[in-house]
Structure 1
Amino acid sequence: MSPDRSPETAVDPIISVRDLTKSYGRGENSVQAVDDISFDINSGTVVGILGQNGAGKTSTIKMMLGLVTPTSGEIQIAGSDVLAETHEVYQDVGAMLEGARNTYWRLTVRENLDFFASLNGIDPKNVRSHHEALIERYGLKEKANVPIRDLSRGMKQKVSLICTLARQTGVVFLDEPTLGLDVETSLDLQQEIRHLAEEESMTILLSSHNMDMVEAVCDRIIILHEGHVIADNRIENLVEVFQTQMYQITVEPPVSEPLKDRLGKRYSTKSWCKIGGKVQFEVLPSSGDDFYNFVNELQQEDIELVSIRSLEPDLENIFLEMTNKTSLTENQNGGQQ
C-alpha cells in the first residue's frame, strides 16, 4: 500500500451519504436493511464497502445508484441529489454490478463500447484509440468483433469492466470485479484501479469478497453489519489495531466437537483442519490475558500443544473479528446495537 495516500476528510466530498435508512415491508414483517448510516467519500480515492450477506451492503450500493429508494436520508454525488437529479448523477457515475447483465449480449465488444460511451454524449469516433487500448489491455483484441453471448464468463466480465470505463465518469462502482478473472488479469486490474484513482482522480467504490484485492487497492474500508457501519477507517489503521492477535495453533488429536465449539465461542477459533496427523486451527484472542487463558484451557483438557505461530493480520481476519465481536455484543444486549 502506498504510504502517501491521504486520509479521508469531509472537505468537499464527491459522495455524501446522510442518515440513510432502508426498510422493506411494513409492520411486524418489516426488515430494517440499513439503519441511519452516514459517511463521506473524497474524489480520487478507492473505498471498499464490505459486509456479510444481510449486512445491508447491497441495499446501500443500490440506493447510492438510485436503483432503490431510501426510506429516509439523503445521498449526493458530485453535488447532485441521487433521487431528485438522477439524470445528472448518471452523467458522473458508472457501475458494474455482480450478476447483472452489464452489457448487451447481441452486440459485439466494440459495439458495446461505442454504445456505453455514447450514453455520456461521447462520440465513439473521437475515442476510438481509447477503446482499442482498453480492448488490448484486457486481452480482448481477438474477440473484439464477437457478440458478448459467445464469450466465456471471464471475458464477459472483462467486457463489463471496460464498458464501465468507456463512459469516462468521475465515479465508478465495481461489484465483484474479479469474478471469473484469471490471476494475472486480476493483478492487472488492481494496477488499473490504482492508476485511475492516482493519475485520473477517479473515485472508485469497490465491493468484493476478494479480501487480498480490497487490501491491495483500497485507501479505506467501510464495514457494514446488520444495517450499521461498524468500521470506517484506513486499512493500515485497522491492521494496527489487530497486530499480533492472530495465531496458528497445532495440537495432537483428538479434539472433541464440544471443545471446538466452546473454543470457537470464547476465543474466535476458525479454519480447523488435519495436517500430517495433527490438528491445526487459528485463534483470535481479544487480549494477551485471553490468549493465556486459551492455552491454559487446552492444558486442562489434556490437549498437547505442538506449535504456536504468530500470524500477520490481514483484512479478512479483521473483517471476521469485527463482525463476530459485533454479533456477540448484540446477542448479549438482546439484539440492540
Structure 2
Amino acid sequence: MEAIIKVEGVKKAYKKRKSKEVIQAINDVSFDVKRGEILGLLGPNGAGKTTTIKMICGLLTPDEGSITINGNDMKTQRLKALKHISAVLEGNRNLYWRLTVKENLEYFAGNRGVSRKDAAFLIQDLLHKFNLKHKENELVNRLSRGMQQKLAIAIAMSAETDVILLDEPTLGLDVETSYEVRSILQSIVKEYNRTIIISSHDMDVIQDICERTVIINNGNIVINDSVKNLLKLFEVRSYSITLGGFLSNHQLSLISHKFPHHTYKKETFQSILEIDLAKSEEIYQIIDILKMDETPVEAIDRRNVNFEQIFMKIIKGEKSNAFAQSS
C-alpha cells in the first residue's frame, strides 16, 4: 500500500527556559503512514508525541530529517504539503463559536479554496453524514461537547484533504457519542479513501478502529506494528489461575524469582494468581510449583488483555522481552 506520509530520521531539540540545557524531544524517528489507513500515534506525556504531531502539521520544523506528505517535502514545499493535511486539535480551536454550524462549514471550506457551488453540495453531505442537519442554524457555543467535536471533524473533512490528523477526538464525550464518532471515522476511510492519524489516550478507540499503532517514548519509536499483532502477542502469555487455597511463602518466593510479572490476591476461601509468561510452555513450571504443596487448582483462564494494558507494558519496557521470546 502506498505511503502518503513519510517521516524519515527526524530529530528535534529544545533549549530549556532560563538555562543552556538542551532537551532532545525527538531522536531519529522514522515511520510511514499508508494511504487509506487509520494509524494510532501514541505516547505518554513528555514522550515526544506532541512534537511529532506538530511537525507533521507544519507547526514545527525538524532540526534534522524530513517529513513528506503526498511526495511534498514539508521544508522545501511546505504550502503544497499542507494542502494534503487538515487537523483537529484538542479543544476545538478550529471552530468559530459565534457562527452557526453551517456558517462554520461555509467559512472553512471557502478558506481552503472550495468553490461556493461545490461547497454547498459538500456541506449538505457532511451535515447528514455527521447527523448535524437539525443543528445547522445553531450557534456553536450552544452545542454540546459531542456536537462540537463532530462539527470540528466535519470541518476538517470540508477541506477535502487526503490526510486528517485528530488529537483526542473522543475526549470528554459520552459513551454513545464516542461510538458514533468512531463509526464516522471508519466510514470516512471507507467511503472517501481518506487517511486518518489519531492521537488519543482512549485506548478503546485505538483498539476499535486503528489498524496499526506507532508508540513513541523518550523521543524514540518503541513499537510500530498492527494492533491485531500486539493483542495476539501479549494475550497468549497472560493467565489467571484460580486456586482453592493459598500459596505458601516458599511457593510465592519461587514464583517471584522465576516470574516477576505477576499479581497474587487472597480472597475469603480462595486466591487468584495472575501471571505473564515469556513462553506458553512455562505454564508447566507454574503447575510444578503448585504441586509442591498440593495447592488445589479451580481454573486456569487466558486473560483478556486490552490495548491499554499492552500500552503500559510497552512503555515499561516489556515489549522487547516479549518480541524476543516470540521470535
Q: TM-score range by the shorter chain?
A: 0.7 to 0.9
Q: Could you tell me which residue of structure 1 aligns to residue 260 of structure 2?
A: 267
Aligned to 2:214: 222
2:11 corresponds to: 21
| Aligned amino acid, residue 17 of structure 1 | V
For residues 105 and 293 of structure 2, the distance between their equivalents in structure 1, rounded to whole angstroms, comes to 63
In structure 1, give the amino acid aligned to 2:198.
Answer: L
What is the aligned partner in structure 2 of residue 324 from structure 1? 316
- Classify the secondary structure of the residue corresponding to 2:25: strand
Q: Is 1:140 matched with 2:126?
A: no
Shift of 1:248: 3.5
Instruction: Decide whether the 8 Å contact of 1:138 with 1:185 is kept in 2.
Output: no
User: Identity across aligned pairs (percent)?
Assistant: 35
> Where in structure 2 are there 5+ consecutive unaligned residues?
322-327
> Secondary structure at the residue paired with 1:84?
coil
Alpha-carbon spacing, 1:304–1:65, altered in 2? closer, same or farther (3 Å): farther
- The answer for the alignment partner of 2:177 in structure 1 is 185
Residue among 161, 169, 173 paired with 2:153: 161
Q: Within 1, Cα distance between the matches of 2:3 and 2:218?
A: 26
AA of the residue aligned to 2:183: Q
Tell me the equivalent position of 2:81. 89
How far did residue 315 of structure 1 move?
2.4
Distance between the aligned counterparts of 1:45 and 1:147, measured in 2? 33
Distance 1:274 1:86, change over 3 A: farther
Unaligned runs of 5+ in 1: 1-7, 330-337
Alignment pair present for 1:51 and 2:43: yes
Tell me how far apart the structure 1 counterparts of residues 266 and 106 of structure 2 sit (CA, whole Å). 53
Secondary structure, counterpart of 1:267 in structure 2: coil
Of stretches 121-130 and 38-47 in structure 1, the one that deviates more from structure 2 is 121-130
Shift of 1:24: 1.5
The answer to whether the 8 A contact 2:40-2:197 is kept is yes
1:279-290 equivalences in 2 (<5 Å): 282-288=274-280
TM-score normalised by structure 1 residue count: 0.78
Q: Secondary structure at the match of 1:73?
A: strand
SS of the equivalent of 2:208 reads helix
- The alignment's TM-score, normalised by the length of structure 2, stands at 0.80
Distance in 2, matches of 1:276 and 1:141, equals 57
In structure 2, what is the Cα distance between the partners aligned to 1:211 and 1:18? Answer: 26
Give the conservation status (yes or no) of the 8 Å contact 2:92–2:152: no
Per-residue CA deviation, residues 121-174 of structure 1 (Å, 9 max, x unaligned), is 112442324323322333333332222222222222121111111111111101
Q: Is the 8 A contact 1:248 1:281 kept in 2?
A: yes
Task: Indicate the residue corresponding to 2:325 in structure 1.
Answer: none
Distance 1:250 1:152 in 2: 46
State the distance in 2 between where 1:289 and 1:134 align: 53
Instruction: Quote how far apart the aligned CAs of 1:38 are.
Output: 0.8
**Corresponding residue to 2:236 among 244, 257, 279:** 244
Q: Aligned in 2, Cα 1:327/1:233: closer, same or farther, shift over 3 Å?
A: closer
1:5-44 to 2 correspondences below 5 Å: 12-25=2-15, 29-44=21-36
d(CA) in 2 for partners of 1:300, 1:141: 68
- Deviation (angstroms), 1:288: 3.9
> What's the CA shift for 1:198?
2.9
What do you get for the CA RMSD once the two structures are aligned?
3.5
When residues 207 and 293 of structure 1 are mapped into structure 2, their CA distance, relative to the original with a 3 A threshold, is farther
